[in-house]
């Protein structure tokens, strides 16, 4: 049984590395990179659900009977788009944050906020 599960375990490991980067790193760009890795690994998980042994890409041709399932592919196409949309928005925020604070380190940003007064947005 476990022989057929190796793919899932590998994917889970990748997902967790991504999640770890998101939470543990204080740099905002690095967080977004981690988010990317986390998302791509989840995409791999979905695609692995659709794969059939000896299947081929779900483009119908004469003489081919076994196809992998097209639905996960469609879902992940959508999810990739969502991912890049999030990345673009996050990066735009990063640029603005850097212009406003001069730093991208989360701890430093909070320090600078505290220094400028809790209620006194500049």
Partner 1 sequence: MTAELPALQVVIPLLCAPLCLLFRSRTAAWLMFLLAALASLGCAVLMAGQVAGGDMLRYEMGGWEPPVGIEYVIAGFNVPLLLLVSTIAVVVAVYGRRSLESEISSSRIPLLYACLCLNLTGLLGIVSTGDVFNAFVFLEIASLSSYALIAMGKGRRALLAAFQYLVIGTVGAVFILIGVGLTYAVTGSLNMADLAARLPDAYGNRALTAGAVFVFVGFAVKMAVFPLHGWLPDAYAEAPSAVSTFLAATGTKVAIYAFMRFAFTVFGAALVFERLPLDRIGLSLASLAMLVGAAAACFQTDLKYLLAWSSVAHVGYIVAGYSLATVDGVQASYLHLINHAVIKGSLFAAAGILMLRLGSVRLEALSGLGRTMPWTFGAIAVAGLGLVGVPLTAGFVSKWALATALIDEGQGLVLAAMLVSSLLAVVYTGRIIEIGWFREPSGSTAAAGTTPVSMGVATWALVLASLYFGVDPRLPASLADAAASALLGPGGG
Partner 2 sequence: MSMFVLMNLTLFGILAATAVTISRLRALYEATMLTALFSLVSASLFVLMDAVDVAFTEAAVGVGISTVLFLGVLALTRSREDVTPRIRQWPARVVVLLAGGMLVYASQDLPRFEGATTPVQVHPVTDVYLRESQDDIGVPNTVTSVLASYRAHDTLGELVVIFTAGVAVLLLLASSPGPGRREEGEGPAELVLADYRVLRVISKLLLPFILLFAFYVLFHGEYGPGGGFQAGVIFAAGFVLYGLVFGVDGARRVLPRPLAWAMIPLGILLYVVLGLAGMLLGGEFLDFQGLRPGDPQAGQHLGILLVETSVGITVAGVMVAVFFSFASRRAAR
Long-range (24+ apart) CB contacts under 8 A made by 78-85 are: 79/39, 79/42, 79/43, 79/46, 80/43, 83/36, 83/39, 83/40
Please work out the total of residues on this chain that contact partner 2, with binding judged by CB under 8 A.
85
Please work out the total of residues on this chain that contact partner 1, with binding judged by CB under 8 A.
35
Choice from 78, 80, 84, 111 touching partner 1 (CB under 8 A): 78
Choice from 93, 105, 111, 115 touching partner 1 (CB under 8 A): 93
Choice from 90, 107, 111, 115 touching partner 1 (CB under 8 A): 90
Do residues 37 and 23 lie in contact, with contact meaning Cβ atoms separated by under 8 Å? no
CB of 97 to partner 1, least distance (A): 5
Our finding on whether 33 is near partner 2 (CB under 8 A) is yes
Burial class (CB in 10 A: 0-12, 13-18, 19+), 107: exposed
**44-63 binders of partner 1 (CB under 8 A):** 45-46, 49
The values of phi and psi at residue 44, to 5°, are -60, -40
Output 17 or 100, the one with its CB closest to partner 1. 100
């Amino acid at each position: 049984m476990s022989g057929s599960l190796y793919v899932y375990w590998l994917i889970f490991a990748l997902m967790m590395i991504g999640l770890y980067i998101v939470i543990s790193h204080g740099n905002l760009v690095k967080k977004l990179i981690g988010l990317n890795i986390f998302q791509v690994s989840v995409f791999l998980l979905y695609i692995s659900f659709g794969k059939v042994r000896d299947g081929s890409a779900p483009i119908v041709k004469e003489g081919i009977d076994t196809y992998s399932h097209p639905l996960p592919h469609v879902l992940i196409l959508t999810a990739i788009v969502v991912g890049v949309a999030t990345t673009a928005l996050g990066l735009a925020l990063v640029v603005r944050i850097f212009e406003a604070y001069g730093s991208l380190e989360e701890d430093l940003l909070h320090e600078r906020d505290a220094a400028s007064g809790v209620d006194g947005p500049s």
